[in-house]
Every structure is written in C-alpha cells, then in structure tokens.
Amino acid sequence: MRKNKQRKGFSFKKTGCLVMTILLCAGMVFGLTTKEVKAEVSWPSGITVGAESAIVMEVNTGTILYEKNSHTKRYPASITKIMTTMLALENCELDETVTYSEDAVYKTEGSGIYRNVGEQMSLEDTLYAVMLESANECAYATAEHVTGGDYDAFIKMMNDRATELGCQDTNFTNPHGLPDEQHVTSAYDMALISAAAIKDDMFRTLVSTVRYDLPATNKSLPLAMFNHHKMISNNLTAEYLYDYAIGGKTGFTQAARSTLVTYAEKDGMLLVCVVMKCEGTHFTDTINLFNYCFDNFQMYSVAENETRYSSDVSNSSTMMTQNEAFAQLDEDAMVILPKGADFLETETEVSYEDGGEGAMGSLVYRYGDKVVGRADVVVTGAQVDTYDFAEGNHDIETSDITVLQGKVEEKGNPVVLVVIIIVIAALAVFLFFVIRSKLSSRHWRNMRHPDRQYVRIRNKKRRRRRRRRY
C-alpha cells in the first residue's frame, strides 16, 4: 500500500510567526538603539518643614513632588479614618442603617459624638460624624457594619486594601487610630490611601463639608457637626484658611502627635499633602508645602505636547495609510513637571501592567529618576481594511514606500529607516509566501483531480498487468 505523504504546503500560521518575529526584532532594534543618554534635569528644592515625616503627591499622576522621611513608620492617629471611610463607601450604600453595639460604644474613647447602645443612624450620617467630628465610636460601628458584625474581618480588609494600593509600611489594627504600638503606617502609604479615596465623589463631599446637621435618631437629639480641619473651616479660627484647600482629615494622640492629610487643587493639579509627628506645625507646614508645589510645578497635556509618537503619516489613501490608527494615547493624560521644563526632556517606557480599563498598556513618563505621569494606549475602535491578495495584485504601491520615506525624513532618525526597511521586508516575505501558496495549491489540485479519461486508461493497464501475473 502506498503511504500518503504529508503535504509540505503553505502555512499562514508559520508565515505569521515569521513576520511577527521580524517585527519583534525590529522593535528590539528600535528600543535598544534609540535610548539616549539622560539629560541633566533639575528638581525644585529648598523648602524645610517642621514635621518629622511629610510628602506631597499629585493625585492624578502619582508624582511625588516633595518628601521627607516618607517611608518611616509612624502612628497615624485619626487619619486612619480615611481608610475606614473609603472601605465603607466601596462596600455599602449610604442609606443603610448602622446599629451601635456595646463594643462600638464602650471599647472606644476620645473624640466622639456620644452615641448609645442600640442607637441607629444611616451610614451617610455615620460617615459625616467620622470625618467631621472624628467620632471613634462611629468608626468602630462602621467597621462592624461593613462586615456584618465581624470586626476582625474589617481590620483584615483594611490591610488587604492597603497592600492592593501598594502600601509597604502599613499595619492597621483598628478603624479609628487610637493608640496601639502595632498600628503604624508611613506618610508615603497614607498618600497612596488618600489619593485613592479622593477619587470617590462622595468621599470628596465628606471631606469638603464644613458643617453638617445630624438629624435626630431613636436615642439622640439633632446635632450640628463641624469640620476640624482649619484650612477649610473657621469654626475655631480663620488663621489657616487656604483658598485652594478642598478638605482632609486631622489626627492627634500623645504618641502620634499631630498628623494631617489635606487636599488642594489649583491650575489642574490635585495635590494631597501628608504630614506626621508634628509639634504644632501641621497647618503651616501644609500651607508652605502647597505654595511651594503650586509655585514650582505645572501640568502638561500629553496630547498637546507629545510629538514623538505621532500616528498621522500622510493624507494619501494607500494600503498603509488609508485607515485610522487603531490605537492612540489617551487624550486626557497629563504629566507634571517643574515649571520651565521641556516636555521632550522626559523619557518613556512601556508598561503592560498598570493601564486603565480598556487600555492595551501605557507609556510611563520619567523626568530624571522621577515618574511624572503616564498615558494609556487605548483602542480607538477604528476598522482596519483587509488587503486584496487576489491574483495579479501582489505589488506594494510605490506611493506606500514614498510615504514611509517621507515620514522617516520628517523624523530625521536613521534608526527609524532601518525599522521601516525591516517592516517592508517582512511584508515582501509575506506576499512571496502567499503567491507561492496559490501556485502550490493549483499543483496539488491537478495531482489530486486528473482528467477522468486518464484515470480510466491507467486503471485498465493495471488490470492487464495483474492478469499476466496469474
């Protein structure tokens, strides 16, 4: 019996792999040969603060504009309640009813609004008490409510969320910040937590509210509550009012001393400042840090300033240029730099891990050794037309190559020319295999389906040979 030989024909899969390999090699060549020596860049300096730990972060870019002992572990006191409130908003509805247990009432001390066992309040009212009056019993009751009465589960939730945000110096043991030697965090970690929290609209409403009138409950009369943050509230003094302040959270214990988280917004910058272990300088330190940052930094739109990754090549309608780009940089992406800096002095690297929803990845911008922003690479939804590989249409139009050459001349980068040549070579290899496939397919069809008359003659000769043998 004759064995069927496996056909060694064309494989789109193999050719696709070949083309992709060539393109990846091109990318490697491009990536390795276009890396430039870092230019000398300067970062503003010269400010000092009394706080033993401090940090200022731009919320939308995550850029650290100032830091002092930002990873030193310290007691946070009541700024802990930022995490407690954020978790409540992420996991519950504001109209849910919070019932105060014996533990909530009797296992807390210090600041509070004097709730009673069995008292009921809406979660919204409870969170206003947590953030404005720094009520410890309300923070405890919130923790129990979020987890259905399992206080320890809420503490675990706090630490899990901190880890998720990238915190490395944090260990929470309670939801309110009362003294505990194991209850620690750092200015850097609190900046990460605070930056995540302010992105929630309701959280922003809570921290920016100066006065809230708490309605009567089943056990208490109405109560007017005032924000303790002196940069937005003049309930006690107007000395520290700050025009650009949004709000924040105060904290104090004998062990922690004064701690403070504050948000401020100006000129497109949303800043969060954290100061810890202060001896009465927490408000002045924060104001000075905000002024320093607003005076020395500014936001840059990636869409308006990035010219190194332009996707518009030509107005011609050829195979390579007639389609819209199927991906582009996020039009809302921003980078923060020292005032007077050149945007093109930034360097970029590709990240496939931290892109936003629907993003293919992101470009991470660096200025010197500092990350100053990122821009997601997002899919535009544009349809890429297929190319007709019909017989007789195997040539790449001359105008395509002319367009690419024009783009290279525009960029003035000889490395790009190398990459373009490799890409064209890859396309040529692809077309060669397509043509070869068509010719090979015809040959095999002819071999498999010969003329019927030829088959009858061949079979007749075979029968005669068999008769002669016998």
Q: Are residues 321 and 235 in the same domain?
A: no
pLDDT greater than 70 at residue 191: yes
Tell whether 6 is covered by a domain: no
Residue 68: count of CB within 10 angstroms of its CB:
19
Tell whether 441 is covered by a domain: no
pLDDT of residue 420: 57
Answer yes or no: 134 catalytic: yes
Residue 288 maps to which CATH number?
A: 3.40.710.10
Question: What pTM was computed for the model?
Answer: 0.73
Q: What confidence category does residue 452 fall into, taking pLDDT thresholds of 50, 70 and 90?
A: low
Lowest-pLDDT choice from 82-96, 270-284, 296-310, 429-443: 429-443
Q: Give the Å distances, CA to CA, from 338 to 129, 210, 343.
A: 39, 33, 10
Q: Are residues 290 and 310 in the same domain?
A: no
The catalytic position among 53, 70, 81, 111 is 81
Q: Are residues 91 and 217 in the same domain?
A: yes
Q: Are residues 260 and 142 in the same domain?
A: yes
Closest CA to 84 of 166, 137, 128, 139: 139
Answer yes or no: 111 catalytic: no
Domain that holds residue 339: 306-385
Q: Are residues 290 and 354 in the same domain?
A: no
Q: What confidence category does residue 280 fall into, taking pLDDT thresholds of 50, 70 and 90?
A: very high
Look over the chain and give the mean of its residue pLDDT values, rounded to a whole number: 80
Closest CA to 85 of 122, 153, 138: 138
Tell me the average pLDDT across 313-326: 45
The catalytic position among 53, 134, 186, 233 is 134
The catalytic position among 53, 70, 78, 186 is 78
Q: At 200, which amino acid appears?
A: D
Tell whether 173 is covered by a domain: yes
Tell me the average pLDDT across 348-370: 77
Q: What confidence category does residue 455 fall into, taking pLDDT thresholds of 50, 70 and 90?
A: low
Residue where a domain stops, chosen among 322, 356, 385: 385
pLDDT of residue 379: 67
CA distance 337 to 297: 6
Residue where a domain stops, chosen among 244, 276, 297: 297
Are 113 and 223 a contacting pair, CB within 8 Å?
Answer: yes
Closest CA to 154 of 230, 86, 210, 201: 86
pLDDT greater than 50 at residue 428: yes
Tokens of 8: 């060694």
Lowest-pLDDT choice from 40-54, 191-205, 215-229, 238-252: 40-54
Tokens of 456: 């009858």
Q: Give the Å distances, CA to CA, from 354 to 225, 231, 359, 378.
A: 40, 34, 9, 13
Tell whether 156 is covered by a domain: yes
Tens digits of per-residue pLDDT, 121-168?
A: 999 999 999 999 999 999 999 999 999 999 999 999 999 999 999 999
Tell whether 198 is covered by a domain: yes
Tell whether 266 is covered by a domain: yes
Residue where a domain stops, chosen among 356, 385, 414: 385
In Å, how far from its chain's centre is CA 115? Answer: 40
Total domains present in the chain: 2
Answer yes or no: 78 catalytic: yes
Q: Give the Å distances, CA to CA, from 28 to 23, 24, 32, 375, 412.
A: 9, 6, 6, 21, 19
